[in-house]
Chains A and B, each alone.
Chain A
Amino acid sequence: MRLHPVSRVLLALAALALGINLVMPIWRIDLGAPQYPEGLYLQIFHDRFAGDIDKINGLNHYIGMAHIKNEMFPEFEIMRYAFYLLMAWGLVTALIGRRAVLLSWLFAIAAFIIWAVWDMYAWGYKYGHELDPRAAIKVEGMAYQPPLIGHKQLLNFDAWSTPDVGGWALFFTSAIATIIFVLEWRRSHRAAVRA
């Protein structure tokens, strides 16, 4: 049994919405401290960092954190292909209109999110723990791993890690795809009962 036409249109739109990640930032980290009333922020795009990178690097060099540079991340070279793949997969799902394909797309999105979260955690762990032994300020037992999501206090800074526009788009796409899958499953189940 094919997916409902409305579902297929919505799936196509959801797949296209992933494209937002190719132009808008995916994630952001905000930093606040008494002496930075205007705040500092870091944005993660699919291919680069943006925001107050120089200022953050300038501050972090005291405690020996690595300078954030785009070159540190081979992910920036390949992330766009992941989005191309997921978008194409979603559009094919809408075209073919089979639930099994939709399920495979859902798994693909889930796999991507798990990989992205793990990758970010791993980077954050490394960034926060691998400190330059020549650092001017050493605080015994202190690590500076940014929060994966939500708030964390790092010395005098409050750090917030939250999805940016792209992250929310990814969230909505997976949510819509999941809801459609559940509704379609129930629809086919009812059809089976009637038959």
Chain B
Amino acid sequence: MKRPLMLTTGTLTLAGLAFVLVNSLPGCRPTTTQTVVTGDAAAKVYVKPGTHDEFYNFVSGGFSGQLAVYGLPSGRLLREVPVFSVDPESGYGYSEETKGMLMTSSGFIPWDDSHHPELSQTDGVPDGKWCFINGNNTPRIALVDLGTFRTKSIIEIPNSAGNHSSPFTTGNSEYVVAGTRFSVPMGDDAARDVSISTYKENFKGNVSFIHPDPGTGRMSIAFQIATPGVNFDLSHAGKGPSEGWFFFSCYNTEQAYSLLEVNASQRDKDFIMAVNWKLAEQLAKDGKGTRVPGKHYSNWWNEETHSAETTVHEDVLQLDPKDHPGLLYFMPCPKSPHGCDVDPTGKYIVGSGKLAALIPVFSFEKIQKAIAANDVEGDFAGIPVLKYESVLHGEVKKPGLGPLHTEFDANGNAYTSFFVSSEIVKWNVEKLEVVDRVPTYYSIGHLMVPGGDSKKPWGKYVVAYNKITKDRYLPTGPELTQSAQLYSIDGDKMELLLDFPTTGEPHYAQAIPADLVKPREVKFFKIEENKHPFVAKGEKETKVERRGKEVHVWMTTIRSHFAPDNIEGVKLGDEVYFHVTNLEQDWDVPHGFAIKGAANAELLVMPGETQTLKWIPTRVGVWPMYCTDFCSALHQEMQGYVRVSPANSTVPLKGETVSVDAGV
């Protein structure tokens, strides 16, 4: 045997032996993810049939543009609330009444990218009244009423581009904020038509304070504060001692406008911006602001007419910090800060530099001292920059890689998500010491403790909202579901209890004890309070009427028929409006309405509600319509016909429901 051959054979044999050896030793294999779950996890998330979850979990639908509602600890998906995106299933964005909700200064925008749900608060604690959520792409904020789980109000944010640091709330929901992610040139057309390379001179940022009317939920922009051109990322309001202040993280203080991946990651520190909003509020009241161009839409759902009301505003009140010292301060924060979270005591502000290997914690008391002593290291575009060391409570050293967001429990602990090292790290806020860490599967973004960004966290769980799920669920082609993971934080050690898939990409989330929401649920709309202009409050009020080329049908639904269910006299070229009133007055009895060839959507009409579907027939013939929501044992009989005649037809217009006599 030749030597090289011997060598090769020998090497292969050795390698083979090593392979067998290594694989037969369990300690040398990487542990599988399943081994992390301990024995009684199932019991802790089991919600017995017929019983309710302990918490409602409101999770952003991400690129779906909607708001998803889960139960905790079960992780069961309860509802997807249509917010920024059309929903053909219910007719949201398609029915004549709901179209106005999605109107913007750029026209009808049927989609968005939603990131951050935020519950309304009273005295710094979520109250279960509303849930706000931002639209990132076409800057908007929506208010979802938790009595109906429907979008009640949407406001567009002018002079903004990429509405990311939004919609975080003040302690009594006096305001929710919206900081622009992209700085852009503002003003009239000439001022906006500038070269991108003039970023430093011409691009401006701003943060907006939006006031929701406590009674109606209708939102308006109270004021905007102009800022230097940077990217705003996230924010949170102060509370307790820091009540009256708002904190925004910002990156790209390099003011790059191209290849930000590199060009905006150069500086050692970016900023957290501290805003004295009480002062801003006072300045706005005193007429110190100026009205600047800023066309925006404010859409509001009127529950009496079951219709959207849209108001267009041409300008917005803006405050310039250069004219008002004391309004804004910058605090240096290591490496592209992302999360900006205030602890329950309101004493500490946690910045999470997503490229940093430490977590800086700022002290509100020290911030105030530094401001009083004018302890600044310079200014950034005219805004004072406080000295890092002077405002720092301390740094959590070597916590992990890529800190993103922090939530809190009621016992002085913080929970920070780490995207790069894919874990949740628990640390003590006062002592700045890491207490515990647990891996997430995989690549966590936001995390959430019930009440964990408020004054009084309910604690009990932390939920990880992950970006990547490969191998966690049955695969479904190239695109896999996103995922959330529930951990118990009751004990000293965090404990993984449950994985559950989510719709869309889960960004931020909120959770609240079910008992704060359940008693407010609307079961149905009272038919006697229905003020829709085309309501039929009984079958006697149903009719068909021609108005030129428009045919209006006042239609009712009740188990299990439409009235009228035979319509004749519609002609080609007509636009038919079916105004469908659901006469039912019982919970859980919606009726659907669909007609063959409908180019828009179907309708889901709740008891006592009226919704309108526009239908343009395309051919002569008899067209079927039917109920799409299983309503009763005779649901399949809930149907009717519309006869469409040629344009020059003389068939008289009529609509009727024909009852056959007994015995016939």
* A positions within 8 Å CB-CB of B: 37, 54-55, 58, 61-62, 132-134, 136-137
What 12 additional pairs, Cβ within 8 angstroms, besides A61-B559, A136-B633?
A37-B50, A54-B586, A55-B586, A58-B559, A58-B584, A62-B632, A62-B633, A132-B662, A133-B662, A133-B663, A134-B662, A137-B633
Smallest beta-carbon distance B565→chain A, Å: 16
Q: In the bound complex, what is the Cα–Cα distance between A37 and B586 (angstroms)?
A: 14
| Residue in B585, B632, B637 whose beta carbon sits within 8 Å of that of A54 in the complex | B585
Q: How far is the CB of A156 from chain B (nearest CB, A)?
A: 12
Q: In the bound complex, how far is the Cα of B413 from the Cα of A66, in angstroms?
A: 65
B634 at the interface (CB under 8 A from A): yes
Chain A contacts of B633 at CB under 8 A?
62, 136-137
- B interface residues, how many (CB within 8 angstroms): 13
Q: How far is the CA of A74 from the CA of B184 in the complex (A)?
A: 77
Which residues from chain A contact B559 at a C-beta distance below 8 Å? 58, 61
Interface residues of B in 576-613 (CB under 8 A from A): 584-586
Which residues of A sit under 8 angstroms from B663, Cβ to Cβ? 133
Within 8 A of A (CB), among B627-660: 632-634, 637, 660
Q: Which residues of B contact A132 (CB under 8 A)?
A: 662
B586 & A58 in contact (Cβ 8 Å cutoff):
yes
Residues on the A chain within 8 Å of B558, using CB: 58
Question: In the complex the two chains form, what is the Cα distance from A12 to B584 in whole Å?
Answer: 48
For the complex of A and B, list the 6 residue pairs with the smallest distance between their C-beta atoms, beginning with the closest: A133-B662, A134-B662, A55-B586, A136-B634, A54-B585, A58-B559
Alpha-carbon gap, A134 to B663, bound state (A): 8
Can you name 21 A-B residue pairings with CB atoms under 8 Å?
A37-B50, A54-B585, A54-B586, A55-B586, A58-B558, A58-B559, A58-B584, A58-B586, A61-B559, A62-B632, A62-B633, A62-B634, A132-B662, A133-B662, A133-B663, A134-B660, A134-B662, A136-B633, A136-B634, A136-B637, A137-B633
A115 to B407 Cα, complex, angstroms: 71
- Report Cα–Cα, A61/B584, bound state, in Å: 14
Enumerate chain B residues within 8 angstroms of A136, measured Cβ to Cβ: 633-634, 637
Least Cβ–Cβ distance between B657 and chain A, in angstroms: 14
Of all chain A residues, the one with the shortest Cβ separation from B584 is A58
Measured CA separation A41–B633 after assembly (Å): 22
In the complex, what residue of chain B is closest to A134 when comparing beta carbons? B662
**A residues in contact with B584, CB < 8 Å:** 58
C-alpha gap A132/B663 in the complex (Å): 10
Closest-CB distance, A111 to chain B (whole angstroms): 39
Contacts of B637 in A (CB 8 A): 136
Cβ–Cβ < 8 Å partners of A137 in chain B: 633
Q: Which of B586, B633, B637, B663 has the most CB of A within 10 A?
A: B586
Chain B residue at smallest Cβ distance from A40? B586
Chain B residues within an 8 Å CB radius of A55: 586
Contacts of B634 in A (CB 8 A): 62, 136
- Chain B 27-64 near chain A by CB (<8 Å), digits 1 or 0: 00000000000000000000000100000000000000
A70 to B285, CA, bound (A): 59
Q: How far is the CB of B663 from the nearest CB of chain A, in Å? A: 7
| Cα A136 to Cα B638 with chains together (Å) | 13
Chain B: CB-nearest residue to A38 = B587
- The interface residues of chain A lying within 8 Å CB-to-CB of B50 are 37
Q: How far is the CB of B607 from chain A (nearest CB, A)?
A: 11
| Complex Cα spacing A62 to B631, Å | 13
Q: How far is the CA of A132 from the CA of B661 in the complex (A)?
A: 11
Using Cβ atoms and an 8 Å threshold, which residues of chain A touch B660? 134
Chain B residue at minimum C-beta to C-beta distance from A35:
B588
Q: What CA separation (Å) do A148 and B116 show in the bound complex?
A: 58
- Give A41 Cβ to nearest chain B Cβ, in Å: 14
Task: Please indicate the chain A residues that have their CB under 8 angstroms from the CB of B585 in the complex.
Answer: 54
> For the complex, what is the distance from the CA of A62 to the CA of B584, rounded to whole Å?
15
- Chain A positions within 8 Å of B662 at CB level: 132-134
Residues of chain B within 8 A of A58, CB atoms compared: 558-559, 584, 586
